[in-house]
């Protein structure tokens, strides 16, 4: 009896610790630019001789892990904490970076949304509208707003010297866009992706899924364009949502992760946008 109780205890504690342990790792992807990951989430860390910039704390536990990791590996202060956009699943844990030398940065709309919705994270003090350039160690990180695409104030991060681009949520490489596109603007996703493809970079790092090159991002764009055009044309032909889910097969993209589970949901998301934002059924 005592042995089986002991066994039960070990089984229980090992399972619980297994649940609690999220896979966290930080890998240099190019010249001082690191991808820090927590499960399916990625944030970006830029390490220079004049300090560190962190994009997205993700959550409290990840932020605590990241702060320790940076202290033990680099012995440089965090000079900038930047939020990619307003959503709590990327922006929580900002208060962990409480060094007074850290300047918190985001787009104006992301900051407003965090304030108005009372998000419990450190609020941005440096806010911008169109474009902001941060300099560290003689190099540049350029932040750019491309209009609405996902949530509020979601911007691109461009390292012109290292030729790296970081984008969260509105570009995903090797995976389908998220479910029924909650909080996404499909026009904005397409417009913003076209804009960043005009910029000079050759390594894409995303807040989720795979890294890639320009061809990989072009393929994600092709998917969005095909999805949008086929749902729109079907609606103009008078097809119902159920018919669209049958007819819009998008087979040539079946290699993308989550294709089986999310294809019909993606169609729903575009249908909803065309119905609610474009009033396409009121013509």
Residues found near Zn ion in the complex (CB under 5 A): 169
Contacts 24+ apart (CB under 8 A), 211-220: 211/29, 211/35, 211/173, 212/173, 212/174, 216/173, 216/174, 217/171, 217/173, 217/193, 219/173, 220/171, 220/172, 220/173, 220/193
Work out how close the CB of 178 gets to Zn ion at its nearest, in angstroms, rounded to a whole number: 7
Q: Name the residue with the smallest CB distance to Zn ion.
A: 169
Work out how close the CB of 77 gets to Zn ion at its nearest, in angstroms, rounded to a whole number: 27
Work out how close the CB of 35 gets to Zn ion at its nearest, in angstroms, rounded to a whole number: 14
Query: For the stretch 49-76, what's the b/e string if a residue is b when 16 or more beta carbons lie within 10 angstroms of its beta carbon?
Result: eebbbbbbbbbebbbebbbebbeeebeb
Q: How far is CA 112 from CA 12, 115, 119, in A?
A: 44, 5, 10
Using the minimum distance from each CB to Zn ion, give the nearer residue, 88 or 160. Answer: 88
Using the minimum distance from each CB to Zn ion, give the nearer residue, 90 or 245. Answer: 90
Work out how close the CB of 168 gets to Zn ion at its nearest, in angstroms, rounded to a whole number: 6
Work out how close the CB of 176 gets to Zn ion at its nearest, in angstroms, rounded to a whole number: 13
Work out how close the CB of 61 gets to Zn ion at its nearest, in angstroms, rounded to a whole number: 17
Using the minimum distance from each CB to Zn ion, give the nearer residue, 169 or 268. Answer: 169
Using the minimum distance from each CB to Zn ion, give the nearer residue, 40 or 249. Answer: 40
Task: For the chain, give the number of residues.
Answer: 283
Work out how close the CB of 155 gets to Zn ion at its nearest, in angstroms, rounded to a whole number: 14
Using the minimum distance from each CB to Zn ion, give the nearer residue, 136 or 211. Answer: 211
Sheet with strand 78-82: strands edge to edge: 24-30, 33-38, 41-48, 51-55, 78-82, 103-107, 126-128
- Secondary structure of residue 2 in the 3-state scheme: helix
Q: How far is CA 219 from CA 51, 153, 226, in A?
A: 36, 24, 10
Q: Count the helices and strands in the chain (H runs, E runs).
A: 8, 12
- Contact call for residues 124 and 113 (beta carbons, < 8 A): no
């Amino acid at each position: 009896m005592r042995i089986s109780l002991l066994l039960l205890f070990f089984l229980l504690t090992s399972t619980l610790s297994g649940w609690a342990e999220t896979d966290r790792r930080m890998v240099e992807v190019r010249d001082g630019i690191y991808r820090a990951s927590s499960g399916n989430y990625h944030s970006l860390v830029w390490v220079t001789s004049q300090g560190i910039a962190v994009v997205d704390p993700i959550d409290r536990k990840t932020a605590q892990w990241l702060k320790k990791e940076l202290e033990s590996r680099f012995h440089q202060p965090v000079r900038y904490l930047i939020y990619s956009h307003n959503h709590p699943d990327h922006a929580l844990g900002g208060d962990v970076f409480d060094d007074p030398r850290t300047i918190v940065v985001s787009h104006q709309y992301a900051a407003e949304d965090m304030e108005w919705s009372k998000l419990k994270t450190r609020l941005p003090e440096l806010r911008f509208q169109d474009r902001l350039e941060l300099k560290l160690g003689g190099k540049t990180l350029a932040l750019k707003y491309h209009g609405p695409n996902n949530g509020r104030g979601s911007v691109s991060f461009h390292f012109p010297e290292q030729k790296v681009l970081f984008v969260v949520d509105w570009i995903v490489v090797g995976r389908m866009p998220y479910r029924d596109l909650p909080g996404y603007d499909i026009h904005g996703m397409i417009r913003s992706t076209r804009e960043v493809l005009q910029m000079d970079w050759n390594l894409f790092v995303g807040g989720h899924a795979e890294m890639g090159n320009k061809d990989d991002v072009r393929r994600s764009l092709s998917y969005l364009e095909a999805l949008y055009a086929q749902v729109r044309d079907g609606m103009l032909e008078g097809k119902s949502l159920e018919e669209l889910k049958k007819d819009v097969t998008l087979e040539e993209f079946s290699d993308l992760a989550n294709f089986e589970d999310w294809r019909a949901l993606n169609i729903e998301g575009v249908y909803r946008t065309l119905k609610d934002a474009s009033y396409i059924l009121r013509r």
